[in-house]
Structure 1
């Protein structure tokens, strides 16, 4: 009996060893293939990245994918292999080959495992292609066009003026305010009214709305699900994602659905995103030319969440760079205060004439891009060519924004904040800069829909702030402020700033059923304050 038990145990041990041996041989063969025989074998990159996704997964998990990818580019060149089937690029040729829409050439689709939603969920502008994607763009294009934004100007300006009134309260008392938080709030107030037809009054209340807090907190959760999806492990997500975040995300969609349903019920035009969409979407998109109610909900969540983050990131980054570059600050202040005779002249159209402000925003996006990790692309069926190499079907391809920004072949003094490089007639030092690789809002059919809004709103907010105030960074600002984690968007650090009253005083005027603000940091504008000079 004992002997037979021993034989059974021995047989089990031999089977396990045999299976382990088979797996080891298979794994060694796979490593050998990925390093020496794979179609991407000749693409440079770290050795471990050639046969394992562990480095890529770790960088993604820790929020350091953009920084580490840029380091790989600095060592290995403009085309690097950062995973067995992952390529990253920093050359302008890749933009045209992978992202640009070229007549007669198949569009490179988004990576099917790296889109924000599962294939069984409602369609959205983030996870569709071809005619389906064109339908979303066609319906939303007007709202984000320059003409559409001008139609929305009164609504946008209303919240910016309330924000300026609040800043004036801080300036009068000498208190610092965290502009990271306040730029999120003013951006959210604008985009929530445009996207949900309902003001959240974050600036008035001095508090970020719970919806926006949840959206920011789930950034890591979204990236984590991308990792699960690539390995067929999505069934684990409900067990590994905290229940608090799952419920918060569910409540966010419920809230968005209620707002969209109310907007559909109200109907009519009010100068928001839905003026034209609601007409074509009648009867839950019975005509097929509009959006279904569920598609409108997803669109509202996407536009409100990403829109407010894009604008706040751009403004926060610009505030940091101005605060750490006094000479640049002075030049920008001089441009703004000599370009207008009164605040009434400052609007969404007039701010576009400020060339130095435009240069400052472009330089901010170069060093601190609002969208740090674009949606990945993959070659069309049968593979494709990019930057002179053949890339097999199924390969993930992306651009490294940090890698481009830090490339001395494209930018002189690449690590320095130098807005002059983006002036129409730049100084001689920057005339050889190559801006063809600079596309902070991507390129082609899938470029950022909200870039006009981000540019226009950022210009208007910063122009009004510097028309009325001087500001400086608080002495408590982290010296490594730019060193931030990112999960699709930056997890921004606090940026305490001290504002001081400038030569143009803020006058608080009641509007509608509102009352004038009291000039203190904790005062509330009970209505819609508008501002003017005395």
Structure 2
């Protein structure tokens, strides 16, 4: 059949394509001119490409080295850096206060951004953006972290830690050397299950990863990819297209397991005598929350415990590369407690070297080294007026590793946290700005479980350092700061240690 083309049709199609292409070019030029010279953030310095695109932001996150990139940016551009067309990051403690405690004293609040949104119907406490929903959930959960409740959790923590210590002691591998990071991941996940649901996942006992732990280990890379793709609306659907099957399977398996555990926990609510976090949500028989809500809350709470595995791994790494600090800590513990069984939280709170060590580990390795983004209501941040709708955040890693706020910021120096009247306190740290150290955030959205975090870290570090002698075997190959990667959660390098049980000489 002959090809019958209407007169002028080909030319019209080409003309339309040319016009469309010209419009795109014109729009891009006009948008670039606006972003570079007329946008409210035009006066703020930063990488040139960041002013007109989210490419810089995306590249740094996908590289796994976003906190280090921010540190370099602050050194090059100053205390405020434009990292995307509509986003600023601040380094000063004053900016941190202005952003995260903004709703105090009647000031307008900086609302949480969508960075940590899960996309589920019910968000967990950490990702919930709705102020009223967050406030209600926090109010329900708050009694779980009261001093009285923490006291009730102590036997559970000691039991799980003792099981972990015993497993390390009895494992043939530890004498030859093991990567301690997976051990901490399993132990903290078990503890998170015990305290959240009254259900130990038995990662340590079985020597295998529970589906929930497997999901936590796999989700970081994809969550980072999805966060970046969210900045590119046309490409965002690809974040699901490129979701690795193993990640999808582990997530759905963990979600299914969580739903079953929650259903069991709800059905057994009258029979449980031990305290766990879910107790707080199940008190009102006439208004029990949906299972989906409980699954989201439990998931975030277990994740919070799991994330302490990074702090514990970092702590062992720092202590085994600083023999004198380890000796002082072990001497304090073994002098205070004549036997392992004597270790109690009441006495641990008063040990200066133990508590100083924990603070220094968290300073060097905080679980949230990036800023939790907030949306400006149109307010001042450290003297800079930030227009409504602009995304702002801090960067904890850059702040705690800055010579502006800490002397010898890259060195592991627990001495800086000792009481100033302590014989071993070093006055070269008098100038440290402790307001720059806020590992658990601040304001109405600060970490509700920070007292629990310190409780767990004190017991875990005390028992491990009392019970064992530690030797780092890959000291010459591994550099903690160099080898770390961040994909929403930390990806830790191998910390290969030999563990020898301590025996007190009579």
TM-score using structure 2 length: 0.92
- In 2, Cα distance between the equivalents of 1:2 and 1:168? 83
Aligned ranges for residues 5-404 of structure 1 at < 5 Å? 8-100=9-101, 101-111=103-113, 113-118=114-119, 121-125=121-125, 126-170=127-171, 174-233=175-234, 234-267=236-269, 268-280=272-284, 282-283=285-286, 285=288, 291-309=289-307, 311-380=308-377, 383-404=378-399
Asked whether the 8 Å contact 1:374–1:488 carries over to 2, the reply is: no
- Residue 498 of structure 1, CA deviation: 0.8
- In 1, Cα distance between the equivalents of 2:399 and 2:364? 10
Asked whether the 8 Å contact 2:176–2:498 carries over to 1, the reply is: yes
Verify: 1:496 aligned to 2:473, yes or no: no
- Residue 220 of structure 1, CA deviation: 1.9
- Residue 172 of structure 1, CA deviation: 9.7
Verify: 1:412 aligned to 2:407, yes or no: yes
Aligned ranges for residues 456-467 of structure 1 at < 5 Å? 456-467=455-466
- Residue 40 of structure 1, CA deviation: 1.0
**1:450-496 Cα shifts (integer Å, max 9, x gaps):** 22222111111111111121101113774233322212211112211
Name the stretch that deviates more: 243-252 or 72-81.
243-252
Asked whether the 8 Å contact 2:368–2:396 carries over to 1, the reply is: no
**1:199-222 Cα shifts (integer Å, max 9, x gaps):** 122112223323201222011222
- In 2, Cα distance between the equivalents of 1:251 and 1:314? 27
- Residue 2 of structure 1, CA deviation: 11
- In 2, Cα distance between the equivalents of 1:173 and 1:156? 23
Give the direction of change, closer, same or farther, for the CA distance of 1:172–1:128 in structure 2 (3 Å limit).
Answer: closer
Asked whether the 8 Å contact 1:356–1:419 carries over to 2, the reply is: yes
SS at 1:115 equivalent: coil
- Residue 395 of structure 1, CA deviation: 1.6
SS at 1:39 equivalent: coil
Q: Which ranges of structure 1 fall in alignment gaps of 5 or more residues?
A: 286-290, 506-533
Aligned to 1:485: 485
- Residue 132 of structure 1, CA deviation: 1.7
- In 2, Cα distance between the equivalents of 1:501 and 1:114? 44
Name the stretch that deviates more: 121-130 or 411-420.
121-130
- Residue 6 of structure 1, CA deviation: 9.4
- Residue 67 of structure 1, CA deviation: 1.5
Q: Which ranges of structure 2 fall in alignment gaps of 5 or more residues?
A: none
- Residue 35 of structure 1, CA deviation: 1.4
- In 2, Cα distance between the equivalents of 1:165 and 1:210? 23
Asked whether the 8 Å contact 1:116–1:222 carries over to 2, the reply is: no
- In 1, Cα distance between the equivalents of 2:459 and 2:218? 28
Give the direction of change, closer, same or farther, for the CA distance of 1:171–1:340 in structure 2 (3 Å limit).
Answer: farther
- In 2, Cα distance between the equivalents of 1:41 and 1:355? 48
**1:264-296 Cα shifts (integer Å, max 9, x gaps):** 11113312112332112x2552xxxxx332211
- Residue 22 of structure 1, CA deviation: 2.3
User: What is the aligned length?
Assistant: 495
Asked whether the 8 Å contact 1:163–1:203 carries over to 2, the reply is: yes
Please identify runs of 4+ aligned residues in structure 1 that moved more than 4 A. 1-8, 170-173
- Residue 313 of structure 1, CA deviation: 0.8
SS at 1:259 equivalent: helix
Asked whether the 8 Å contact 2:467–2:501 carries over to 1, the reply is: yes
Aligned to 1:514: none
- Residue 4 of structure 1, CA deviation: 7.7
